[in-house]
Structure 1
Amino acid sequence: MQLKNLFTEDRAVSPVIGVILMVAITVILAAVIGTFVLGLGDQVSETAPQASFSFDYNGEGNLTITHESGEQIAANQVTITGDINNSGGNWTSYGGSDPISAGSSVVVNSSASEFADGETVRIVWTSESGGTSSTLQKWTYNA
């Protein structure tokens, strides 16, 4: 046996690398297909929109919520919840426009005649499929 030929022999390298690459490709394809078959692929793209809202309370039970900046949002995906009349109504049920864009606003009323200390109002976004929801902004009354 020649020692020099043993170290320079490279015929078996190509098939080993080929098998490793085939296994890696198979694993990656199985992961991608499995993600979409199980429905996880749809949830990945359902991220909450980036938007900023301002709150203006007049001291008499009326709270004006204004979309200041950020993405346009479908009004039927935004609910306003908290210590208000008609809690859980969507943006248009308070007289807002569809879609919600910068500058659009709604006025909500306190469930009592005025907001009490610690009462909150939340703007909640829900994905189109209903599988994901997120609080976009929260306002708490501090007396």
Structure 2
Amino acid sequence: MELRTLLTDDRAVSPVIGVILMVAITVILAAVIGTFVLGLGQDVQSTPSASFDFDFNSSNNNVTVVHTGGDSLVEGDNAQDVNVTTSTTTSDWFANETDISAGDSQSANFSSGDTVRVVWTGTSGESSAVLAEQDAPA
């Protein structure tokens, strides 16, 4: 057999590549399935969907934030913390109640031009989101 024939013969390349691809796909599938079986895919907490209204009282620089609908926020269940924040204050909504549902309200002081936010923190403490925000009147 000639050396030139051995170097140009590529008949066995396709089966080798096929085997390598099948092994790679099997390893990837095992990793994905193993992740969910071990519960690593369950750590993601979705942000609740809730609506809020802001009632600004400029005479005493007080804002009242009212939960108007959507998901209830329950301490320890779907929320670790819910705060009403301005540039000068942070008001812990769970200090007064542990279940925030439609009709519940929280007050905070504000300064002219502040942005008032309702900030949610998930039960793990690793995720947070601004559920609502509004600028105070100037």
TM-score range, shorter chain: 0.5 to 0.7
> Match of 2:136, as an amino acid?
Y
1:33 aligns with 2:34: yes
Q: Which residue pairs with 2:86 in the alignment?
A: 82
* Contact 2:36–2:42 (CA under 8 A) maintained in structure 1: no
> Match of 1:137, as an amino acid?
A
* C-alpha distance after superposition, 1:54-99 (max 9, x if no partner): 00011121111000000010254212222243x2x42033x4x321
Q: Which residue pairs with 1:58 in the alignment?
A: 57
CA distance in 1, matches of 2:70, 2:130: 15
Name structure 1 gaps, 5 residues minimum.
1-15
Deviation at 1:26, TM superposition (A): 5.6
TM-score normalised over the length of structure 1: 0.66
TM-score normalised over the length of structure 2: 0.68
- Secondary structure of 1:102's counterpart equals coil
Q: 1:81 to 1:36 in 2, by over 3 A?
A: farther
> Match of 1:32, as an amino acid?
I
RMSD over equivalenced CA pairs, Å:
2.8
1:67 aligns with 2:62: no
Aligned residues: 114
Larger displacement relative to structure 2 (75-84 or 60-69): 75-84
Percent of paired sites with the same residue: 31
More strand by share: 2
Alignment of 1:1-143 (within 5 A): 27-34=28-35, 39=40, 41-44=41-44, 46-59=45-58, 60-75=60-75, 76-85=80-89, 87=90, 89-93=91-95, 95=96, 97-110=97-110, 115-116=111-112, 118-143=113-138
Q: 1:138 to 1:25 in 2, by over 3 A?
A: same
Q: 1:119 to 1:74 in 2, by over 3 A?
A: same
> Match of 1:51, as an amino acid?
A
- Secondary structure of 1:29's counterpart equals helix
